[in-house]
Structure 1
Amino acid sequence: MELRAWLSQPAALSAPRLSESAPVGVSPAMVRLFGASSEPARPTVQRLRLRASFVHSDPSRSSALIVVENARPRRLFPGDEVTPGMTLAAIHPDHVLLVHAGRVESLGLRRNTGEPRP
């Protein structure tokens, strides 16, 4: 029931959405020419928890449920501010990418112990 309530929250209008295919600071044209860097993002050290990610074929319609410091989960979209100075950049099935202080950080879903890895 809680999940249904979170999903029914209206989406707040936010800053322009970031393209999921282009890393921060790199133009989409450069990515098309040379490809994106395969360097993985470092895990965030912020007190955040990813509860769920909902990936849509249109990246701007993807959303994630993120808990900040044990508060109620918030439904966020790419480009939304997670905490002051931290923006949600991209949403993937098992993690999200955040931009904090000009660096890309990742926040993954927690796995239950004993759950097999894909």
Structure 2
Amino acid sequence: MFGPPDFAGLAAWPALQRVVAERWPEGDAWHSRRKGAGLLHLRREITRQQREPPVVRDVERQLRRRVPPFELELVLLPVRDEEIRPVGEAKYLVPEAVYDGPGWAAWLRAVVTRLAS
């Protein structure tokens, strides 16, 4: 592990600068765990995509027509929340637990169906 930076940007707030410097090892350890979890998640996601048909193709089959291009942005977050939150017309904050959970495919299919209409 490398040492913390000097946090010069916090020089105007010395108490905060000290707290940040003291908590640096904890933050660095959290970041390392998250990075490892992210790589593991990516490997699982590739496997999931290989065994599950793409949602858009399923919706096209259900609608019996091609779906016009659309935008959908999903921001995957490492939080304890279990609620998907819309933050725009087609942008959602998605907790990892929801993304990995049993209801994800149905939620995504409903959103893609709405966007395809």
**TM-score higher than 0.5:** no
Q: 1 or 2, which has the higher strand percentage?
A: 1
| Greater Cα radius of gyration, structure 1 or 2 | 2
Higher helix share: 2
